[in-house]
Amino acid sequence: MVDDTGEPSPTAYDAAAFPERHPALATRLPAGLGGLTAAILVILVLFAGGIALTISGPLFGRPLISPTGRFAGSLRVVADGFDHRAALPVPVWLGILSLLAAGAVAGSVKHMRRHRRDDYKGRFRAWGWLAFLLTLSAWAAAVPLGPLVASAVSEATGVTVGPAGIGWWVGLAGVAFTIVLPWAILPLRERLGTAWWGLLAAAAWGTAAAMPWAGPWVGGDARGAMIGQAAWSAGAGLWLAAMLTAARSVIREVRGETTARAAARPDGDRGAAASEQAGDGDDEADRAWSERESRAWTEDRGGWSDDADPGEEHSSDRYAEAGSGAPGPESDQPHGRKLSKAERRRLRKLARMNGEAA
């Protein structure tokens, strides 16, 4: 990675953060743009096809799978698997698998993020909570966890929110994701892709959550339940895409392939930063000055001397007697490294001022 000056900077992770030091899942996550794109395309195609086969009959009056001909019995079994009234239709089954996989990927991200050297606030724990929420969502699709929570809270409080109190479950889940998602995603350096897929997933699940109230406006409760099921399945696939994108971002951070955000400059350095970008046409003078920057500061001129011994040490008292005000060996002049353009300009200006005063 590079810092705000464009120079390479060391990675902020310990060696234990590399995917090769983790279980087999981390080494199989797509770290390249091509692999990630292919994985997301496969997810989108699977869910789009499954949802289309499920809702085509009720919505359009013509199912995509017609059990006729020689293999009518086999096709009928396949069509029953995509029936939204089945106990576990194929899109919901794909959604459960996707959420379990997304939870596993989030757990792998947590194990990598916990080795970041500058994470003093334990922000990596957000990925553990996100893995728990995604796994809990997968479980809630297979068992009536939502109705159980809704009924228990409604009976405890005496307040029923939504049909059969389902609003309690929707509200609690929404608050949990609202707290955990920014906590996990915002610290990422490359967070735009993860945030985009996460917002799409949240929108899909928001649509599914609204269906118990929107039944009369979408053609009945049965159609609303079908649309909600399809939206929930699509959201599950989008969560997996978001977690894969986040994993790629973290792997690139660990390997030092991302670009660090420019650090905020103090107010006094903003003018210097602007002058570095604008330039004033004196690059030749800068290079000449840089070649002489390791030479000693003399007393008579307060500038750089070609015949002075580079290794000669001068005390701050001798500089004060010469009236140069130049930095000594204990000052900000760091011997052994190349000065920035702004530093060279400041030193050159100081030399001209001291020369005129002499």
How many Cβ atoms from other residues are within 10 Å of residue 122's Cβ?
10
pTM value is 0.66
C-alpha 207: how far from chain center: 25
d(CA 178, CA 347): 52
User: Which two structure tokens, joined as six digits, stand for 291?
Assistant: 């070649």
| 3-class secondary structure per residue, 144-211 | CHHHHHHHHHHHHHCCCCCHHHHHHHHHHHHHHHHHHHHHHHCCCCCCHHHHHHHHHHHHHHHHHHHH
- Can you give the pLDDT at residue 11? 55
d(CA 63, CA 80): 11
- Can you give the pLDDT at residue 23? 63
- Can you give the pLDDT at residue 332? 46
d(CA 74, CA 53): 16
d(CA 13, CA 115): 6
- Can you give the pLDDT at residue 301? 43
Do 300 and 355 contact (CB within 8 A), yes or no? no
d(CA 274, CA 103): 46
d(CA 324, CA 322): 5
- Can you give the pLDDT at residue 356? 67
d(CA 249, CA 257): 9
C-alpha 130: how far from chain center: 14
Query: Taking each helix axis from N to C terminus, what angle separates 166-185 and 192-214, rounded to the nearest 10 degrees?
Result: 170
What is the residue-level pLDDT of the chain in tens, covering all 358 positions? 444 444 334 457 767 677 776 666 777 888 889 999 999 999 999 999 999 888 887 776 667 777 777 777 777 788 778 887 887 889 999 999 999 999 999 999 988 888 777 776 778 899 999 999 999 999 999 888 988 999 999 999 888 888 888 899 999 999 999 999 999 999 888 889 999 999 999 999 999 999 888 877 776 778 888 889 999 999 999 999 999 999 999 888 888 877 654 344 444 444 444 444 444 444 555 555 445 544 444 444 444 444 444 444 444 444 344 444 444 444 444 445 567 777 777 788 788 777 766 6
